[in-house]
Chains A and B, each alone.
Chain A
Amino acid sequence: MKPAPFRMYAPHTVAQAVATLAALEAEGQHAKVLAGGQSLVPVLAMRLAEPGHLVDINGVAGLDAIDVSSAGVRVGALVRHAELLRHAEANRVQPLLSQALNLVAHATIRNRGTTVGSLAHADPSGEMTAVLVLTGGSVTAVSVRGEREIPAAEFFVGPLESSLAADELALSAFFPAAPAGAGTAFVEMARRHGDYALSGVGAVVIPGPSRDEGAPTISVSCGFLSVSETPLVLDLSDAWAAGEDSVMAVVRAAIDPQDDIHASADYRRHITGILAVRAIREALARVREEQAA
């Protein structure tokens, strides 16, 4: 469990970092960006990947900012999960951040692992990938060619595969603010506390204007993890209006979970329906708490 030889680069500026990445790309070299290292380092130690070059961005200035505005939360590439988790202002604007971050691994991993790094890793069982897609967020990437903003829906292209180019650095992620009056919740089920979820669901519910004089219309959307190749978001407004059984049926039909040693696809499909209902109920309860307050 010792990594194969690699060359290490320690740029101090974004310009140096992307220049290094560009030069390595031009030489046809395999390079990886090292931030928190919580996914990359074990992969290297087990020699499951043997990149010849690591570009360590931990010394790059200006990548550790959390910028909060009424529009949302921008998270720099070196912001650790733990910092974002305890950022009260960010979590007031978008409560899904802390609701999901609480379920990201363990405190020691959150202290080191970065939120943007976990997005770039593009693991469909990652909580923050689901949150980025559910909130309609984006990733800003930079290379020697300049900056570009990649919407979440286009960022994740497959399991462990993002649309970042080999010479691009994920500079920051943007999580839009929760809509006014919205309630959010994030629930998941894991074998042990902090493990990758067998299934997880984030929910955003927005009470709308009254339809007729009866019940108000409610917009319901859910983001899912561990049950599809890329993070999945479903609009469940109509299903919810038709009842919880309907939500479960729609969810179970839409997802595509896989068997693994921890759970069968059947079981994942079963619990994902239940978790979706529970997430929606919890988000609605938050709406009512808000309204009561």
Chain B
Amino acid sequence: MGQRYFGEPIRRTEDIRLTTGQGHYLDDIGAGQPVLEAAFLRSPHANARIRSIDIADALDVEGVRAIYLYEDLAGPVAEPLPVLIPHPALTAPRTPYALAKDRVHHVGQAVAMVVAENRYLAEDAAERIVVDYEVLPAVASLDMARAAERHAHDDVPDNISAHLLQTVGDLDAGFAKATHTLEFDLHVERSASTPLEGKGVYAKWDADDSSLRVYSSTQASTSVRAAIAAKLEIPLLKVEVIAPDVGGGFGVKIAHPWPEEIMVPFAAIRLGQPVKWAEDRREHFISASHERGQDHHVRVGFDDNGVVTALDVLFYHDNGAFTPYGIINPIITSTQLLGPYKPGAYRVDFYSMYTNTVQVTPYRGAGRPQGVFVMERTMDKIAQALGRDRAEVRAANFIQPDEFPYDQGLIFQDGRPLIYDSGNYPHQLTMLKDMIGWDSMGERRADAASRGKLLGVGMACYVEGTGVGPYEGAHVHIQTDGTVDVATGLTSQGQGHQTMLAQITADELGVPFEKIRVVTGDTRRFGYAVGTFASRTAVMSGSAVALAARAAKAKALRVAANALECNENDLEIVDGVVQMKGAPDTKIDLGTVAVLSNPLRYAFDKAAQAATQFQGVDDFDKPPVAEDDEPGLEGKDYYSPPRSTFASGMHAAVVEIDPETFDIHIDKYYVVHDCGRLVNPMIVAGQVHGGVAQGIGGALYEKMEYDEDGQLQNASFMDFLMPYVTEIPQKELGQLELGHQETPSPLNPIGVKGAGEAGVIPVSALIASAIEDAVGFPVDSMPISPNDLYRLHERFAAGELPHVERYAASPSAATRARRGAATRTKKSADTSS
């Protein structure tokens, strides 16, 4: 197979359209046509009983077509929304009703739906609905949830939805072996995906056909389809769900079905007219999903070299008011916390807690940033306790390149063993240290000091399980004009899937890139899919597309061999032409092969006319389409991995702190990333850079500010501080350096690992480390603002916080580390002999 496209930084075919206003997003669907619009009345209280709802005044608003309350629902649609991912440890799962029944559990929960001639009128009417609430005390924070004096749900008195304890190895023995132990608390705040396009749903009922077409700004169109079919009791094949252009997802749009995804089709069917709802920004803040809030307590035992002999982590995870996505987030935190390290023994115990706040479901990174924050802060604290270099302590704990596949002994998010497939962490660390000049920061520190600034450097390492199953599929269809249609069921939110999947197809088939059209997330084109999350598109759909293309190619060669009266092994496809290897004049266009593959050959086009010259060998005793054959030149296949593939990354940053104002500035950011083989390095770089930007948001700016009544104080982009481009290091200005290491995955046919979430994962950990390095006192809670840093400094000045020293790598320690690596290599060599 030629490799003309795979691995090349090909420009994204999506971009001209998306950057020149030609994108077609949810709110563009039905524009200019008579479409009814919906608005939802949402709870103003965090915890309340609904005594009564009066819609009489609202119905008087001119242009209102319908107002729906819970009492209008019957059958499956009146049941609570599903728990998508149950787990034995999730003993008290709770999900909302599509419209609140008699109880609301967070500010923003949908209570009533108004459908009107336009959104303005719908909002006018919603404002006139009178709801009589009995307001109850709210559980507005993890601390309040743990105190359990207030109850987020009446029937969950301890506010605990799930409790899970996992242990690997002998913890007591590990602590007994330790020559040092440390114990400390760490805290990560809530943030959210905040895609620039919120959610949205458009539904159109075709009464002639008894069928429903739904567009949703979703990351999982096939599952939304199944949910709508089940909830509204419509045969699955009478429901189509299409994800149009989607303006970002970052995880929040993998949760489904949202109340609106059920209620908008419900109204469209009832009213016999298309209905649309496009979420506004305030709605997104108070009724979509958040993530990240966790409190950790860590106990760690280690030896004089910093090697961790025992790690004991207890944490509380804020799951908000509902658990539609199960306990995926805390499971990921608890397992991915380990990163590239192999502690002697590990115990992790978590409680997932209800609060009367917006529900928590995965946001890019999905529990990993918290786990990495905990592990990397732990590494820094070990280095501090031993007076050693931070990189050195990390290296002492790495899984070594000859230890793969490495079994961490835990069960991962996909319910399968946490076994790392491949990686090379020591080399990755060396690359990063060289990139930064880790061991020679003196000059830069002096330069910063001369400008009155404090300079700090921090690093963090992570391992990321990507490409979780169970499967994705793809369909490759070679047309008679030589173009190729590719379809995969998972969705796109702007990542460049059309480009990346076309690159894979082009190389597999031997067809020019420009001849390939890719469709994603359209249930009319591909019915079985899981969705876009967990950095899985390149791994899952990329592999499925490769396999489907191979199937299509095999058939093309077979049909062509028949036409050219030769052996198919002697044929190859080059630039869309099937030709004899070594004798390229014996050839046939792939489009012509497509014509030949179909015995019905009406000469609609030139390709069909050309095909008549190839008679092939006909056996008149056989049917025109053989028993095990099909007309047409298509390939369809699925890829289902045994388990996830594990990407890795190591990031570092140099920060400057203003010692008077405590302003925090990221001077330079460094990434060494390993996601196996790169399909398109430019797209990977963009994914990593974008992830870093979101990570910086989580480290320095973003925080959901709930007051003690459960009111979100900053439900707008004015007060929820998503970083601007001015806050993010720019690659073009030399502020961001990106390096790649490629350790291919042995698990999939194209050797790739996921890259979508990577950038965001370690940022809080390394920014905390860098700030600590600059200011000389501990940073154990993120995000951190200048105001927070000032307050920590006040406490430090009052003697309430310890001094954090700076330790460089010692030449003798470096020698020790090398000797240690040599010993390990020798040991494994002994075992194998």
Contacts and interface: CB of A to CB of B under 8 A. Distances in A.
Interface string B259-296: 00000000000000000000011110000000000000
Interface string A65-106: 000000000000000000000000000000000000000001
Contact of A262 (B120, B724, B787): B787
A184 B806 CA distance: 41
B810 interface: no
Nearest to B283: A1
Nearest to B714: A261
Given A1-B282, A5-B124, A192-B727, A264 B786 contact: no
Given A191-B701, A192-B701, A267 B123 contact: no
A194 B723 CA distance: 11
Given A192-B701, A271-B661, A262 B723 contact: no
A189 interface: yes
A148 interface: no
B220 to A, nearest CB: 26
Interface string B780-794: 000001110011000
A264 B124 contact: no
Contacts of A165: none
Contact of A189 (B283, B661, B705, B724): B661
Interface string A236-267: 00000000000000000000000001111011
B120 A2 contact: yes
Nearest to A47: B127
A105 B447 CA distance: 32
Contacts of B450: none
Interface in A40-78: 42, 46-47
Interface in A199-243: none
B124 A267 contact: no
A267 B663 CA distance: 12
A11 to B, nearest CB: 24
B713 A261 contact: yes
A157 interface: no
A4 interface: yes
Contacts of A270: 790
A195 interface: yes
B787 A2 contact: no
A1 B282 CA distance: 8
Interface in B306-334: none
A1 B127 CA distance: 12
B817 interface: no
> What secondary structure prevails in chain A residues at the interface with B?
loop
A160 interface: no
A191 B664 CA distance: 10
A1 B37 CA distance: 13
A193 interface: yes
A274 B281 CA distance: 36
A266 to B, nearest CB: 8
Nearest to A4: B124
Nearest to A267: B787
B347 interface: no
Interface string A1-16: 1111100000000000
A138 B254 CA distance: 55
Contacts of A1: 280-283
A262 B785 contact: yes
Interface in B773-831: 785-787, 790-791
B721 interface: yes
Contact of B663 (A3, A42, A189): A189
Contact of B721 (A3, A5, A189, A195): A195
Nearest to B660: A274
A124 B283 CA distance: 29
Contacts of A267: 786-787, 790-791
Interface in B219-271: none
B89 to A, nearest CB: 35
Nearest to A270: B790
Contacts of B282: 1, 46
B563 to A, nearest CB: 60
A140 B818 CA distance: 77
Nearest to B720: A261
Contact of B791 (A2, A264, A271): A264
B119 interface: yes
A4 B127 contact: yes
B832 interface: no
Interface in A1-45: 1-5, 42
Interface in B476-500: none
A270 B791 CA distance: 11
B719 A261 contact: yes
B721 A192 contact: yes
A82 B716 CA distance: 25
B613 interface: no
B726 interface: yes
Interface string B621-650: 000000000000000000000000000000
A46 B718 CA distance: 13
A265 B716 CA distance: 22
Interface in B81-134: 119-120, 123-124, 127
Interface in B125-166: 127
Contacts of B119: 2
B724 A192 contact: yes
Contacts of A193: 724, 726-727
B218 to A, nearest CB: 22
B786 A189 contact: yes
Which of A5, A262, A275 has most B Cβ within 10 Å? A262
A198 B124 CA distance: 36
Given A194-B726, A267-B791, A261 B127 contact: no
Interface string B685-727: 0000000000000000100010000000110101101011011
Nearest to A273: B660
A30 B734 CA distance: 54
Contacts of B726: 192-194
Given A1-B281, A46-B282, A191 B785 contact: yes
A198 B718 CA distance: 13
A69 B295 CA distance: 62
Nearest to A1: B280
A264 B792 CA distance: 13
A209 to B, nearest CB: 33
Given A1-B282, A192-B724, A261 B663 contact: no
Nearest to B715: A46
Contacts of A3: 120
Contacts of A4: 123-124, 127
A192 B723 contact: yes
- 10 tightest CB-CB pairs across the interface, nearest first? A193-B726, A1-B280, A263-B787, A267-B787, A2-B120, A261-B705, A2-B123, A274-B660, A271-B661, A267-B790
13 contacts: A4-B124, A47-B123, A47-B127, A189-B661, A193-B724, A194-B724, A198-B787, A261-B714, A262-B721, A262-B787, A263-B785, A267-B791, A271-B661
Given A47-B123, A192-B701, A267-B786, 20 more contacts: A1-B281, A2-B120, A5-B120, A5-B124, A42-B718, A46-B282, A47-B127, A189-B661, A191-B785, A192-B721, A192-B724, A192-B726, A193-B727, A194-B724, A261-B713, A262-B787, A263-B787, A264-B791, A270-B790, A271-B660
Interface of B: 119-120, 123-124, 127, 280-283, 660-661, 663, 701, 705, 713-714, 716, 718-719, 721, 723-724, 726-727, 785-787, 790-791
